[in-house]
Structure 1
């Protein structure tokens, strides 16, 4: 019943597959990347994911830097692994600078515009890989934004293998090869850049992977082409590089660098240790000789501390850095800030988490009573940690703002007293809940889920977030899985939550009921309707038993069960349950309650789905009247109800009533929000669509022109909604047989799609197909055939020969060739399409039947 911002009608596809016939058939430039001779820089680089910033100052490594900027050739995968293990540099510790080298490579590609698409994926888990790939798939148009993450990730992997656009993918900190199972990036293209399948083009993609896995894990695996895979071990700085690095950092006084070479040797050239040492010396004005003495003393003092995978050298440099930060004003806040950050994800904590009220209250020692002054002090404490080399801050990113090396995190956790752990864990959990927005986007949600996973691993036992009952973070994290299209993982998560809550809190606890409800919703989202109905029926039975049939929770549970039946295509059963839910809600909560109105709207939709059009119409009319009476004409629920009634009129063949209702929605929406609100523009687009469908093309065109002008003025000419509005106007022109006006608008739309969304985006293919159809309608068959050929080539390259979109594209091309009298080519195309359809979709698929009929008509002509 909520009326959110809508995008309005989407541009239609070409939509004609039958042949005519007798039966009707982030960062700054750091280096110059070598490009292939004759390849000009690309005009823009599409970036997906958050590229970490380079260290400030950043030191380029002439001897140990892996030469990625010039050494990763198109068609090649480079894996940066840990160099030779030493006591100061165990492989599990890392700290040799692999991520920074990958970041330098990414920033250089972006600065030189040497690729069209640049993707950074932080590979902390399989879930993180799926989310990163899905986000990239949406960005390049390989999958729709609302596609499930698993399916979208598959689409992106296929896009990498087939696109002719130059791209680069960086997979950072891959901890398990299984996280890339089925998604291993193929840096070469399986088709030529012309898209005609004439041969492979190995020069499309570059892949860089950083990992602490041993090189043998890659050399013995079967997931990659050995010819394109290069393992590059990364050790610490060489002695000359370490000396040069310290020389560049230490310039307060001439003697500050005395024994710099020895300090580099003490720390085995580890960039992590040297950065912390240089930071402390800079802040405190120490020289290398003085620092070496402190380092030796601190190593002895820390000899009894053990942190898994962290060397004694890093334990000592971390300790000195923490002590330094703790002494900086505001004194005493560095340690609790460090402890809180160490509970979270080292690859990036969203900025809002550490400055949330819960975090500030914990750090300042005033839980539940933090002030703005406390927040200012916390920001200063975070800056002090960065000054001391303990964290890095990316002020340009709200998603992964604060980073802490995993070795620093491990050292902090090892030093934290066990008695303090529950307090910092709960403070971190509260901070995550407060910082987690309802609609933050897939990348932010993943960063926050990474923080949750890190927190649960650090929690000192599985019960910490279940004391005294389930922490809200457990539910917020699970909800984000479903919102992110991670259906399989959402189901597994809620199954584990049901088990955990039942065991810890009991089967009748509210948290257990909530987890069962979430499990049902996850089943429904995944299309597992039978299991969803079973789960919701169980929730309803529990609620009736524990709370009674008239309790609001019971009414809600009944409505959810009805929705599951409706989603399963069982409208008659849905109607019966919705009728009970609406009656109970009206009796217990009142006719104007939001739950009652929502149940009645769902009941009206269920009537329509069950073929009970008159009941649906009556239900919507009563709903609109009651919503206006109780909430007012401009309330979002009233506007949504009136829009539902308008759609019902339109689908029921009552265009006059539909148009009148849409005009009322537009007027009420404009009164509530003002003429420039996006909901007003969307309401006008709905009216335009109704006018067009009713045959009132002159009025529809005027409305579409107004929608386009408003979107250009408010959202800008390159916003996707603006481009869609332009496509809708072109479609209306074409419907009115105003082809002279339609074709330039279609051409403009295609140019916008290619420039803004890229040539491989699904919307770009749709735009080209629409333009081809307009050319064909105008009798420009040569232009139509050329455009359809490009659509077919792109569809086949991106989606494969058996995808319904590819088959439809081949059929559209055949129709244009048929109109041009090229019958033999038509027959060849249709035989090809029919064979593909039978192979991929099956002999009984509707598309196969259509193609078979088209071929019969063509051969009998």
Structure 2
């Protein structure tokens, strides 16, 4: 298709200008990828031993047939746990949310499903390179497009139609050498070299590189090769390494050592990275790392560039100027490692660990540096970094965990931190490192909604750090803050408040009022205030934290700034400032979308809170649109039973009820009443309060008796869990009074309404929205009882609504029309 190019051509390695032959294989691959009927085409699997050219065949196919596709994407698949992130990176190109920020595994599935549906591209090609682990099969799409897998694993041969790749034919070997060397080699000489190399493409690449730039004759080269082969035959050699490749590599290395020995040090160092591209910035930013073998290279950029050029000419590395990276074939890496004794292996591996640690950004929470971390992550496992005992390297390992967590790749973060904890505990010593890792582990579990497990972990960790380091150590302060979060998650609102008040006092004394850890402790305390109905202190403290985080002297992550701004909006809403909460919430949401992306967890929480404020303010169209979208996104990213997802579902149900769409609202509320106990437990305040939403709908749909029973039980349980003076208790009491009135129990309704109204005005103020709702309902009960003070209360409340809220606010509309106001429940962030 002359002139046509794919709209998206991403991450495909550069074309090998010396690619030769393989025409039959390429035709078979093209034919195998073309579905014969409407049946979904199966992926084609390229199998063979290292060095036969599987990857280069796939690269050539992608370039040669690029005009036949609308989208081509290359996915390094040798580390299975990184495949979801690589697949999720396609999301923006498929008009899906930017999943590089959050919910990697879920978004990878969404990408796979979009490809299978052919939307927006039906003509696509995905290449999974070096897919040895069969577990990635769950991410392989089977739809209108095509998939190529390069692998040595026979599993793919059993599952999909395969294409066997062997060494070159002799004719292809000769063509390859003559193409590369031109007139410098005869057909006979090329044939002799090919025979010695066993027609192995990677070995021919080595000999071709040497022949191209040296005056050495073919006979001289073959003599050197035979000497190396004889040495190898006399030595122990791993069966995975082809003899021809090993001998050819030994010739290249020996000649390189004569000419540029310092380049060989760089090559040996590269053998302990992963087989993925190595960013050149690792050596630039890590130039202060303790790497004795690279002395003279890290401090001399000119010498370093010359070494890279020399290795490239010898075909020992591949250099990509577009991505500014170098790459060493995994077989060459294996040969290099096998040629070293254990001490030298340990030394080079330690140098790689230090280079990675020194080159990494310092703030893994900063979304602007996530791309830098993403380039380093593939080398963490392959370099065996988890075995290091060096403090800086271990700190880097924890920063990688934090990056994976902050960017939404929770499963990978959990896999890595679990391995770190196991390795470091087994190694002995480094107890502080293990405790730090446990803290990261708790953060991941908390974000994933594993509240019971994380509470036990936090309690145990706090006990350990107190015993190990005392009550005033930094890790003790951090662990205390973590336990407070777990207490809130378990519904221990008063206990968390008591813990965090003491914690803030200790933070301020030890670290000052504006230290980053102090600000985090204050943020936790502000959340406690909101959960314990102390809305004014919550607003004051959230504002204090936000302003301090926004100072130039206190740089912090965009996520924390967003959460602080959103918390201010929530505190204003809880005080009744619905319009103000919408204004601040909209500004916060814009900030979140710009800085973190629409699908980041913190952005979604902000969107949910804005939807609640919109509902309270009466902007019901905006509220339902925002609420549904947020619920859908949270469900896709975290699943339908995650705490944040079900919190968003509660909001959607409440909006539907206010809009008069009672049937759908009831269905969703009933589902949440079943789900909340599964997530939080039967006696959690959220579980109990969730029933009050269902009771409102029972009454509105005519089942007043069921509504009353639910509210009576909820009121009793909430008082037991939270005490009598809590806004959840008051909301339930207002609704229960409505149930009693609907059943004709006017005296009981009046008695409960009078008590609740007095408590609300004492705890908040007469103009608080809960007190106003209670007063409006109470005026109706007074009128029904022909009380002389009924009209005075009705007028007073009407004036308050007119003064405080704009026309169309739902409670104001209900009060003006003489309709009872319902007080619903929304779970607060914990």
Unmatched tracts of structure 2, length 5 or more: 597-605, 677-689, 703-830
Q: Which runs of 5+ in 1 are unaligned?
A: 1-31, 34-39, 84-90, 189-203, 222-228, 670-676, 680-685, 698-730, 736-745, 747-761, 768-790, 816-825
Tell whether 2:493 aligns with 1:562.
Answer: no
1:464-483 aligned within 5 A: 465-466=388-389, 471-483=394-406
On the 8 A contact 1:305/1:415 being kept in 2, the answer is: no
In the other structure, the counterpart of 2:237 is 306
- C-alpha displacement of 1:249: 0.9
Match of 1:208 in 2: 148
Distance in 2 between the 1:634 and 1:219 partners? Answer: 50
- The aligned residue for residue 389 of structure 1 is 315
Which of 490, 494, 517 matches 2:413?
490
> Which residue does the alignment assign to 1:652?
575
Please tell me whether the aligned partners of residues 147 and 485 of structure 1 are also in contact (alpha carbons under 8 angstroms): yes
- 1:124-203 to 2 correspondences below 5 Å: 124-137=78-91, 139-142=93-96, 145=99, 146-164=101-119, 165-166=121-122, 167-180=124-137, 182-186=138-142, 188=143
Native 8 Å contact 2:46 2:148 kept in 1: no
Indicate yes or no: 2:209 matched with 1:279: yes
Determine whether 1:106 maps to 2:106. Answer: no
Structure 1: how far apart are the matches of 2:400 and 2:555? Answer: 37
Secondary structure at the counterpart of residue 51 of structure 2: coil
Cα distance, 1:314 vs. partner? 0.3
Match of 2:272 in 1: 343
1:428 matched residue in structure 2: 352
Distance 2:675 2:563 in 1: 40
User: Is residue 29–residue 163 contact of structure 2 (8 Å, CA) maintained in 1?
Assistant: no
Which range is displaced more, 537-546 or 287-296?
Answer: 287-296
**Residues 1:591 and 2:513 aligned together:** yes
Residue 246 of structure 1 is aligned with which of 174, 177, 183?
A: 177
Cα shift readout 1:675-705 (whole Å, capped 9, x = no counterpart): xx989xxxxxx9xx99x9899x9xxxxxxxx
Question: Who is 2:717 aligned against?
Answer: none
Deviations 1:835-861 (A, max 9, x none): 999999999999x999x99xx99xxxx
Alignment of 1:395-434 (within 5 A): 395-398=321-324, 401-434=325-358
Structure with more contact order per residue of length (Cα contacts < 8 Å, sep ≥ 6): 1
Distance 1:175 1:614 in 2: 58
Query: Aligned partners of 2:293 and 2:675: how far apart in 1?
Result: 69
Deviation at 1:67, TM superposition (A): 4.6
Aligned 1:321-400 pairs, distance under 5 A: 321-328=252-259, 331-358=260-287, 362=291, 365-366=294-295, 372-373=299-300, 375-398=301-324
CA shift in 2, pair 1:79/1:565, >3 Å: same
Residue in 1 that maps onto 2:826: none
Classify the secondary structure of the residue corresponding to 2:468.
Answer: helix
1:317 corresponds to which residue?
248
Cα distance change of structure 1 residues 100 and 570 upon mapping to structure 2, 3 Å threshold: farther
Where 2:52 maps in the other structure, the secondary structure is coil
Secondary structure of the corresponding residue to residue 321 of structure 2: coil
Closer/same/farther in 2, CA of residues 297 and 633 from structure 1, 3 Å limit: closer
2:382 paired residue number: 454
Q: How far off its partner does 1:152 sit?
A: 2.3
CA distance in 1, matches of 2:156, 2:582: 63
Q: 1:296 aligns with which of 204, 217, 226?
A: 226
- Asked if structure 2 preserves the Cα contact closer than 8 Å seen for 1:353 and 1:431, the reply is yes
**1:205 CA displacement:** 1.2
Distance 1:206 1:484, change over 3 A: same
- CA 1:665–1:294: 2 relative to 1, 3 Å: closer
Give the conservation status (yes or no) of the 8 Å contact 1:131–1:443: no
Of 218, 231, 234, which residue of structure 1 is paired with 2:156? 218
- Return closer, same or farther for 1:172/1:620 CA change in 2, 3 Å cut-off: closer
Measured in 2, the distance between the counterparts of 1:454 and 1:630 equals 39
Count the aligned residue pairs.
Answer: 638
Partner of 2:453: 531
Indicate how the Cα distance of structure 1 residues 835 and 134 shifts in structure 2: closer, same or farther if over 3 A, else same.
farther
Distance 1:577 1:416 in 2: 55
CA distance in 1, matches of 2:564, 2:669: 44
The CA deviation at 1:534 is 1.7
Deviations 1:382-402 (A, max 9, x none): 22111101111112125xx22
Q: Does 1:53 align with 2:7?
A: no
> Does the residue aligned with 1:393 lie in a helix, a strand or coil?
strand
- The answer on 1:77 being equivalent to 2:42 is yes
In structure 2, C-alpha distance between the alignment counterparts of 1:512 and 1:339, rounded to whole Å = 31
Instruction: Measure the CA separation in 1 of the matches of 2:550 and 2:178.
Output: 74
Partner residue of 2:827?
Answer: none
Q: Distance in 2 between matches of 1:840 and 1:275?
A: 64
Q: Per-residue deviation at 1:272?
A: 0.7
- Work out the CA distance in 2 between the residues paired with 1:548 and 1:322: 55
Structure 1 residues 274, 584: CA separation in 2 closer, same or farther (over 3 Å shift)? same
Question: 2-side partners of 1:142 and 1:597: how far apart?
Answer: 35
1:332: Cα distance to partner? 1.5
User: 1:107 Cα deviation (Å)?
Assistant: 3.0
8 Å CA contact 2:581, 2:613 repeated in 1:
no
Change (3 A) 1:128 1:635: closer
Q: List aligned pairs for 1:493-508, cutoff 5 A.
A: 493-506=416-429
- 1:488–1:526 Cα contact (<8 Å) kept: no
Describe the SS at the equivalent of 1:344. Answer: coil
Change (3 A) 1:46 1:441: farther
Q: Secondary structure at the match of 1:518?
A: helix
Aligned to 1:784: none
Aligned residues of 2:548 and 2:554 also touching (Cα < 8 A): no
2:289/2:358 contact within 8 Å kept: no
Asked if 2 retains the 8 angstrom alpha-carbon contact of 1:130 and 1:149, the reply is yes
Aligned equivalents of 1:644, 1:834: Cα separation in 2: 27
Distance 1:497 1:159, change over 3 A: same
Q: Aligned match of 1:575 in 490, 497, 500?
A: 497
CA–CA separation in structure 2 for the residues paired with 1:489 and 1:634:
24
| Larger proportion of helix | 2
Deviations 1:605-633 (A, max 9, x none): 33224432123134346667888999699
Is the partner of 2:130 in helix, strand or coil?
strand
Judge conservation of contact 2:26–2:61 (CA < 8 Å) in 1: no
